[in-house]
Structure 1
């Protein structure tokens, strides 16, 4: 069970996988269907082809859906139409910047999975522009539905008595299981890079830039061969459309100022290393570009020096001359933790504990997890080298602050988790009531062949019809 607050998500599609909206190649292709409008929800039509298409998608993905697909699928689409219809009335719109960003991320992921733009077009039997347009329409609707759900449930709170009642109403054998988690503090130092190494890296990038500007080599070819950004190297350095807030501020300023697609940017320094970039396209407040990343090499002498410095810090802690928290604030170069006593915060989007200081071992960076696994509560590790999420080498020490053993959720130790579950249930109830109310208020007409369906929300068939 996930412990994040979740509204009812009624979208039929997933933007996370290229295979989410299309049948596999070895699946039988959809037969031509004489199309017709089989439902009307307000002024939003549902076509027979929409239903047949979604049936094919679900079957191709192997989803096990309870109930008759000829009833389940149109009802799912109809629920979405209720939100879209109300969104028109309330002038709720999607954030087009967000939609474009999601579309481009989806396309980049699809190309990465299939190997090339041409293979993507072959797979869908459509031009890239058509694929982009269809994905934009789909994701725009999903964003509007989310925005409407948030509007409907905005301001919803749960009182302590509601949380207590919710907890008491959960059968003991249905209480959420909380896995073992740990809390970790860290002090990290960045090994000093000599100027000679920085000059070497800049010299390499200047050579690449000269070759590209003079037409001797293609930017994408050099990126595939030499860029140290693994995410983009195989795509010829292409990053995909992003806004300024998604990039390092220095890097964003440089790429958004590019105007000549044939020229390469000056060298850009970020926390990840040194880059050169080339403009591909600007679209509103989004930009797509290629880049090449080269990181300075950290030599053994720099590692040894950083290890000696952090060993001295660890000695101060062991002699009780400084607490770990004080040492982190004074000496740590980890920007994410030094103002927080070195306490690491879980930022994994895949974790049930994202936003908290609790980590399962698999949520931690691998180098940290290996060391933390051997520590006792309160114990400080020996210095070790680690690689950050940005690919940089650091020397660190960690302290195991606390261990929370696996257990069934209870009000004493898991109040936040139970509160989130109670809040999620209350929001879902409000949205459920909203759907039933809108069924009564919205003009709905469905084809006779759907009237005997056992719907989740029976109100689709109005008595006057």
Structure 2
């Protein structure tokens, strides 16, 4: 596999990330560079200047791509911090055309996105935008829309097309796997001097102590949830507004406590048990999970899927409880340094984090579930905790505000791997991931070639000189 092909994988990933917002979200930033963007709505940009909608760049099936859509794509990438150096208008147009072809073919293949799914997504976006801008009137004025229904209809169409595009691509790649033999053949086909280089990597372990709330603090949280429940049931208060005002769920700003899920989705057991045992339209009694205490209202049951809204309240943690957790970690750290037991043994016996405890506290990389983290791609929070650790050094107790509340931890780098050229046995998981992406790229390209032949496509004169990855010009 050539260097060009390896680079193409990277470009495709960068452009895809940058354009994702074109199909399925509206994004806002704060005042100095305020902008909101979508794939079809004319949008304000920096200092209230407007993007000029000035020409048709392409037509794919029934979909039109405007030149302004290309400009907005670059703005989206830049505001997300994605480098645009080296990415051309031709590449961006090519990606937009791919998205439209997916959506066009999804309609031909009768791929369905339910009205309920679209409505949920649209409402979440509107709630987020209203919260960011201040009011619905300001939002409508910002978009130069006559009324809320017009704006909602416009956003509904954009959201529907985005979801169709995503589902078409998922259908093409569904159940695609790659065998170890395919990985070996793929890797051996790359000349040794062109094989990927992986940066410095580390394996990290941690011991976590979670301060426990007092009984009084727990009872206070439960009583608060009961008060909210009573106000909703007896006085008609809005649970969405209550969630926005009082919930400790980090996602409340975007979704006002709303989630749609099935029993297979990765929600904690307690949450799913209550959701699937509460009748539609009713609010549960307060219940506990690892994140705190909740009440939950089942808004709709759709077969195996439940639409629910919840409010989370974390019991207050006292200063004494925090000091106790830190003191326990100090003691554990001293005993490890004195050789009474290893860091891994201490994690297995003393850590409160069940996800890592049985692996001796070793963290898993969420990208590929391996134990290695490449330093340049590491979560900034973890990186800041380990960057100054040398050799066998163990950190002092560190406080962290996690999704499940305040915790204290000890952190240690247990292995370091210097930058190196890919090695089949040592880097198998990373190589497997690259090989699978290349196989997916080949599958998508083959699908694109077939559908382009059968679909009406027109490219504007300004873009006929582009060297597209796909045969959009039908040469």
Q: Could you tell me the TM-score, scaled by structure 1's length? A: 0.73
**Separation of aligned partners in 1, 2:191 and 2:25:** 34
Q: 147, 150, 162: which is aligned to 2:186?
A: 162
Give the one of 11, 14, 21 matched to 2:23: 14
SS at the partner of 1:51?
Answer: strand
Matches of 2:456 and 2:462 in 1, distance apart? 10
Aligned with 1:411: secondary structure? Answer: coil
Would you say the 8 A contact 2:177–2:436 is kept in 1? no
CA contact (8 A) 1:251 1:270 kept: yes
The structure that has the greater radius of gyration is 1
- The correspondence of residues 5-154 of structure 1 with structure 2, limited to 5 A, is 13-18=22-27, 19-21=37-39, 22-25=41-44, 26-27=49-50, 30=53, 45-47=61-63, 50-52=64-66, 55-62=67-74, 66=88, 76=98, 79-80=101-102, 83-84=105-106, 88=109, 106-116=125-135, 120=139, 123=143, 125=145, 127=149, 130-131=153-154, 133-151=156-174, 154=177
Map of 2:389 onto structure 1? 375
Aligned to 1:346: 365
User: What is the CA–CA distance in structure 2 between the aligned matches of 1:403 and 1:162, rounded to whole Å?
Assistant: 27
1:232-243 equivalent positions in 2, closer than 5 A: 232=252, 234=253, 238-243=256-261
Q: Deviations over 1:134-155 (max 9, x none)?
A: 1442133213331243159655
Cα distance in 2, alignment partners of residues 165 and 461 from structure 1:
30
> What do you get for the CA RMSD once the two structures are aligned?
4.5
- What corresponds to 2:341 in structure 1? 322
Aligned partner of residue 224 in structure 2, secondary structure:
helix
3-state DSSP of counterpart to 1:187: strand
Name which of 346, 352, 367 aligns with 1:333: 352
2:242 aligned with 1:228: no
Aligned to 1:267: 286
Cα distance in 2 for partners of 1:8, 1:326 equals 44
Cα 1:301–1:144 change in 2 (3 A) is closer
Partners of 2:183 and 2:406 in 1: CA distance: 47
Match of 2:464 in 1: 453
Question: Which of 227, 231, 235 does residue 207 from structure 1 map onto?
Answer: 227
1:294 is aligned to 313
Q: TM-score, normalised by structure 2?
A: 0.72
Q: Which runs of 5+ in 1 are unaligned?
A: 348-352
Distance 2:25 2:428 in 1: 32
1:283 to 1:239, Cα distance in 2 relative to 1, 3 A: farther
Cα distance, 1:149–1:308 mapped onto 2, change above 3 Å = same
Q: Distance in 2 between matches of 1:239 and 1:138?
A: 25
1:380-395 → structure 2 map (5 Å cutoff): 380-390=394-404, 392-395=405-408
The answer to whether the 8 A contact 1:99-1:139 is kept is no
CA displacement 1:92-150 (0-9 Å, x = unmatched): 76799987776565555444444455655563736265246414421332133312431
| Shift in alpha-carbon separation, 1:260–1:420, aligned structure 2, 3 A | closer
Is the Cα contact below 8 Å between 1:190 and 1:395 reproduced in 2? yes
1:329 positional shift: 2.0
How far apart are the structure 2 equivalents of 1:393 and 1:133?
39
How many residue pairs get aligned? The number is 430
